[in-house]
Structure 1
Amino acid sequence: MIHVVPAFLADMRRPWLWLGSAMCAVLVLGLLGILIGMASLEPQTPPGFDGVLLEAGLSLMLTAAAVVGSFSFTSDYRAGCFTRRVLLFQRGPAFTARAGSTVLTALLSGAAVGVLSGLSGELVARAWGVTPQTVLSFAGMAAMGALWGFAIGSLIRSHLVSLFVVPLSLVVPELLPGSLGRVKEFFFPVLAGDWAEQSAVHLTSSGSFTGAMIWLVVVTAVAFGVFLKRDLA
């Protein structure tokens, strides 16, 4: 694994890495801005509407980061660029470095979205403001979404298919029948969302965070194992 650092530094110089993160941030801010703008047109917003906006923003952040995270693998794999990186740095380091660079840039873009959305929410709709907890929530959701999307994308490998499968994997709990009861609460998107929402309002939700991390570790480990043994063609 001595090639991890050179592979990581090479990945950090990829233009698409930063362009993808910027597009993710712009998309989330644009959609959230529409919601905030619509709220500002109302003469009086209902109680708790700021919480609804925050929940929507965090959900958008998770989904957009997951899609961009999947493209971080599939776009280069489709073009053959990732195969060349494997030849340069070997399979394990190439996969690890790409996952690390994807998560790091997502973390930074999520933090930027947290700051800008907090400012716009406070100025336009008198919603939540900029706090370290809010910024951490957006950054955490972006990082978790990016790693989730990267792992799923590496398993699928198809650029177009991942565009639909990755967002679908985040709404699976909503598609399950209500007869399952609390089973939905143990799925990754629910755990991640619960942690982010609780953290944004200064509450501790270590159980949800631990559960989301377990999901990420398992899915990433499976993707890593499959990548090491699967044909690159």
Structure 2
Amino acid sequence: MKRLFLFVLLSTLVFSCANSQQSRGKAAAGKSSALSYPEGVAPVSEIDAPLAGLSKAVFAGGCFWCVEGVFERVEGVEEAISGYAGGTSPSPTYKKVASGVTDYAEAVIVYYDADRVSYDALLTAFFSGHDPTQLNRQGPDVGKQYRSGIYYQNEAEKEAAEAFIKKLDESGRFGKPVVTEVKPLGTFYAAEGYHQDYIVHNPNQPYVVGVSMPKIEKFMKAHPELLKDKYRKP
């Protein structure tokens, strides 16, 4: 029994977003070259000028590497940036957020072409890329910083999110109630540069292999109609 406990404990430590090794030298090479990511964090309004004209949406669903990876594969999404949302204190950092001492969640801001992909389609991708019935956790990642959340910018987004959740609950799809919080956006802070495109730069990292990619592949299998051409199987 003690050996089993130690195995589970060690597995959780290895395969958790907060305890994973970070490739700090690989900043954001995979992102748009027009974007400039600071070594620390910054309100996204300071760095999103190159994406002006696109619609934005913000989601939290556990480790932001996983959520970013899902949305980067959706047709019509031009950019997905990992960061922090749902909190009120100024200048959150990964160290603070990951330790659970702030009220922020790891989140992703999605820049998308509304003529090519709808907000409802983004909701479909979001709810297919994580378990929205887990309260303040996602798999091995435990704490309010890993909560499920939709952070709306207007009443239309709020109504769409609430209607989508109601439909999910009525369908019994997950077997449990959806606990995703739906709150006004407030300020979204872009995370440190080494978090951007983390899966692209660290494909063999244990957490990526054991947690991130299975989530992404599950989404891709469930909704091939939402994928960019390069991610569709022939």
TM-score by length of 1: 0.27
Higher relative contact order (CA 8 A, sep 6+): 2
| Larger fraction in strand | 2
Q: Which has the larger radius of gyration?
A: 1
Give TM-score scaled by structure 2 length.
0.27
